[in-house]
Structure 1
């Protein structure tokens, strides 16, 4: 069936079908023409892939993000970012990057960061004298930290595929790599701003002004502390944390910032439902796709082949980087995690690689695929929201590709970036 499955998948993706439909249809085709299994198996496996209590966290985190990334909450974080770095050369670009890192702790999604606050920052940068395509490319690069700084939907899905890690340990493991990626993108923006002569966005504020803006943003930024702290101290599970995040978002939106009205809730719930449905449909289709790979023995064959190469751990990680970067050109992170982690994680464990380190390497690699054509979802989100041609955005991306590649190499070669915080925090 594999000789039918993969060509069908690539043809459907090339025709522009959404990933979930491409995977599900390719499984139907493979079963119809390459096996005696009934097509009903596809539906069964898709439902089996969604029959999981931890998956309840996905729609609740999406709903919390929809509530938090609007109105006064967004403005509070953007103002804080601009007060901290807006006075530097390329200050509005720096504010774009810093605000993305802050929103990563609220939304857990790269696409949500790019479509919401990222779009606002592009317009602000354009008014401040930046080239619009450059502002869009910077937003694409800075949004990468969305699934890496906790909370992260991708990390929740990863923990379901690898029993050697927990959601809490992955949340802690992602903090330092997320900060490193943010710093590398800041450096790239500083260099481009110096070459192109982009000026600062505002005069340097006083310490009192910074303190006032920071105090106003504290309720929004406290969400990450609530989630990670609650999970760490055993107050609630990750799934329960997602529900608490929704109630927390409602409270600060309605009673602290007072920008959320009851009449806004139906639209927010509808957007969250649509986003959650898309995510869960991808996960269901990926489960059916992975089922065919398993019964065909592909994971076992690949595992035995790689083990037979007798690679050193570092060589294995570098090979995984190449594999995942190529895979990310054609596939979004969530199906990538569902399909590849059951194959690669056991091999990494056998080689003595720390499970949290390997998980972050995988997640960062697959997330970088959101920035690369032909599938790169971040490119098309930014392109559609601010009306820039994808090809124009891609031409502005090389400085950020270099910065992101350097960060990935450091994360791969320095395990402590991913293991130190989980170890000292008791995970």
Structure 2
């Protein structure tokens, strides 16, 4: 995918630049008059015609990459099922006894079995229909049933992995508890088959909330609640769900997500993050709290590479937390600093949550990237102020060594390949050379080349592991978006967003109060739901309300992302806290307590961003 889209980008740039060169009056005059060439205009016309004939050489690339993307996603989900790596809300689940948890895993796996078998079976029907009424794709001229084969193949593999998981649960729980779990699953799933005149809204949200509480992965919870609602209320034909599982992610903009994830992973494994830290340490390491300040600065810069909060914490925290502890900082403070700074990873562009919001809200991803720059820098600046104050209070001084222009220049030169990444990505997008998806692919290829051939830290084994990790991480997100589309379509048909907006407007029509209520809701959701899941679920519900009170959809996207970024450091599902806890080998509660000053500072920034929209929009 990365190579194909990079080829498309450079091929288009080469053709367009060449056509512009051959059409330039200045160039024609130069060759025709200054050099005395006769017939230069006819020659250039001939060359332009030849270039026109090869424009189609890259037509196949986008379509090929999209289909590879869909296949990669659904082939990687079985691995996520095997590893139990799907995004879940397990705040309640972990409080149960081990026996109850095992019962619930039987319940979860049986529901997944029902869902994956349904899509598998309907996928076979879909492929057979495509073979019976053959059509071909626009560019590659492939029979349509070939791309759609991924539905029975991918969900068939998910079915096998789920059966494998069920067998493991059977051996762990024994026949008695297994039967109890199976009985609960049947009791849960059967009623919709016998329901008449069921309330679709109650079914959709009731099932979804219960599935989340029982620890069902969010993506499958969305799909299952939509499927059970469709069966009970007859809102849509069941066959429709299989089709949407394919068409919902057959989207070029969505492909930016796996590319940005791959770019961050390649660059972290390839040594770019360590060189960025050395540069930040040279610039800030001599100040009070210097290493902590350097950590925040590095997180801000790495945010312009990875687009992910947890990825930023993992890449930077693994280096900076041990370094801070070695220099005398409190371990909890060190972990909390990186966890809070990692939240900037989803504000400063490129940002995966902005891509997801842009696709969900049909908003410009480029505008969202621009709108996130000031909030991200502002958040980083405020975190630095808090860090400086705490460090001065505890007398955590900077490293006492000589820093000269020469040492800073050397550190900058060593980090030059990493520093160029935001220039390539943002310069390409706003210079009109690349779309966000193409910029992400170029960034991923750039990170791969630098890691393998320049720094030589990304060997073939690391490269293989990085590719698997990228595919696994991105597939979980894309599966979530596919299932959220099905869920959202059922919501739209039942006019649920409009009903919710009307209820709130009946309570108050004061925009200031409504925005405050939205912030409170988002902050609460962020404490127990992963950011990307919250965006795909809440955007269709809250965006109509925001538009009714006159909010700019780009500004609203910034508010959503900043709110949910704060959720990265709020228990019980603060993912940055989990990553920092693993790095520091410390209890989450202790890190969460140390994060309170940073949390308060980020809440203050949120209020400023919310009520002063110009901070986000003035760059547009």
Verify same fold: TM over 0.5.
Answer: yes
- The aligned residue for residue 58 of structure 1 is 257
- What is the CA-CA distance between 1:143 and the residue it aligns to? 0.5
- The aligned residue for residue 425 of structure 2 is 227
Contact conserved, 1:105 with 1:221, CA < 8 A, in 2?
Answer: no
- What is the CA-CA distance between 1:174 and the residue it aligns to? 0.7
Contact conserved, 1:94 with 1:189, CA < 8 A, in 2?
Answer: yes
SS of equivalent residue, structure 2 residue 271: helix
SS of equivalent residue, structure 2 residue 433: coil
1:241 aligns with 2:439: yes
- The aligned residue for residue 401 of structure 2 is 203
1:84 aligns with 2:283: yes
**1:275-354 alignment, distance < 5 Å:** 275-308=473-506, 311-354=509-552
What's the CA shift string for 1:103-147, capped at 9, x where partnerless?
A: 001100001011221222111111111222221111111101101
- The aligned residue for residue 260 of structure 1 is 458
TM-score by length of 2: 0.64
- The aligned residue for residue 223 of structure 2 is 24
Work out the CA distance in 1 between the residues paired with 2:277 and 2:223. 40
**1:398 aligned to 596, 603, 620, which one?**
596
TM-score by length of 1: 0.91
What's the CA shift string for 1:235-278, capped at 9, x where partnerless?
A: 11111112111221123223333323344321111111111111
Work out the CA distance in 1 between the residues paired with 2:227 and 2:550. 38
- What is the CA-CA distance between 1:321 and the residue it aligns to? 0.9
Of stretches 148-157 and 259-268 in structure 1, the one that deviates more from structure 2 is 259-268
Unaligned runs of 5+ in 1: 423-427
- The aligned residue for residue 123 of structure 1 is 322
- What is the CA-CA distance between 1:7 and the residue it aligns to? 4.0
Work out the CA distance in 2 between the residues paired with 1:362 and 1:185. 20
Of stretches 287-296 and 273-282 in structure 1, the one that deviates more from structure 2 is 287-296
Contact conserved, 2:235 with 2:490, CA < 8 A, in 1?
Answer: no
Work out the CA distance in 2 between the residues paired with 1:385 and 1:291. 40
Work out the CA distance in 1 between the residues paired with 2:249 and 2:491. 18
* RMSD, matched Cα: 2.2
SS of equivalent residue, structure 2 residue 415: helix
Work out the CA distance in 1 between the residues paired with 2:350 and 2:488. 26
- The aligned residue for residue 425 of structure 1 is none
1:13 aligns with 2:212: yes
**2:357 aligned to 149, 158, 182, which one?**
158
**2:247 aligned to 33, 48, 56, which one?**
48
1:72 aligns with 2:290: no
Contact conserved, 1:110 with 1:147, CA < 8 A, in 2?
Answer: yes
Work out the CA distance in 1 between the residues paired with 2:493 and 2:483. 16
Of stretches 24-33 and 376-385 in structure 1, the one that deviates more from structure 2 is 24-33
Work out the CA distance in 1 between the residues paired with 2:569 and 2:216. 19
SS of equivalent residue, structure 1 residue 116: helix
1:175 aligns with 2:175: no
Q: 1:346 to 1:4 in 2, by over 3 A?
A: closer
**Bigger relative CO (Cα 8 Å, ≥ 6 apart):** 1
1:272 aligns with 2:470: yes
